[in-house]
Amino acid sequence: MLLSKSCMYGLRASVQLAGKKDNTYVTIRELSEDLDISFFFLTKVLQRLTQAEILESYKGPNGGVRLLKHPGEVTFLDVVTAIDGACTLNECALGLPGCGVMKPCPLHDKWSIMKENIMNMMQNITIAELANRGNDNLDLDGLIHYIIR
């Protein structure tokens, strides 16, 4: 598995928020119910997104979280790095530590290309794009739930 669960939860929540027409505050409780994620755990995950200034939170009645930037400006990778920390694909794509490019194994070049591809993909797709593709379907929320879950 490439991404941690925290990371997936964060992604799903971000996409869910990106799918909203208006960018009003949504309670974490509501998000957790829509996405079927533990409220307590999701709270922890979203705190990291708030700290990373991907989300903005507001306490009290009618509070909650919302996207700080325009969803078209938040990449998949932004969310991943905010939660899982700096790129996990830094080193060997296989996870073999301490390996360099001096004496690469036969996999190295192919892996490097793939790594590059994965990084590009994560860097180039925004949560807006991930949310918007359900446009031909009216049940957007349900769809996203289905898609991302």
Binding site for ligand SF4 (CB under 6 A): 92, 94, 96, 99, 104-105, 107-108, 111, 147-148
Q: For DNA, which is the closer residue by CB, 17 or 130?
A: 17
Whether residue 71 contacts residue 33, with contact meaning beta carbons closer than 8 Å, is answered with: no
Q: How far is the CB of 86 from DNA (least distance, A)?
A: 13
50 binds, among a copy of itself, DNA, ligand SF4, none (CB under 5 to 8 A by kind): DNA
Q: Hey, how many other C-beta atoms are within 10 angstroms of the C-beta on 120?
A: 11
Non-local CB neighbours of 62 within 8 Å, separated by 6+ positions: 25
Cα separation, 137 vs 46, whole angstroms? 28
Cα separation, 149 vs 133, whole angstroms? 15
| Interaction residues for DNA, span 101-140 (CB under 7 A) | none
Among 2, 5, 104, 117, binds DNA (CB under 7 A): 5
Cα separation, 56 vs 25, whole angstroms? 9
* Using rule CB under 7 A, residue 44 touches DNA: yes
Q: Where does this chain bind DNA (CB under 7 A)?
A: 4-6, 9, 26-29, 38, 40-41, 43-44, 46-47, 50-51, 57-65
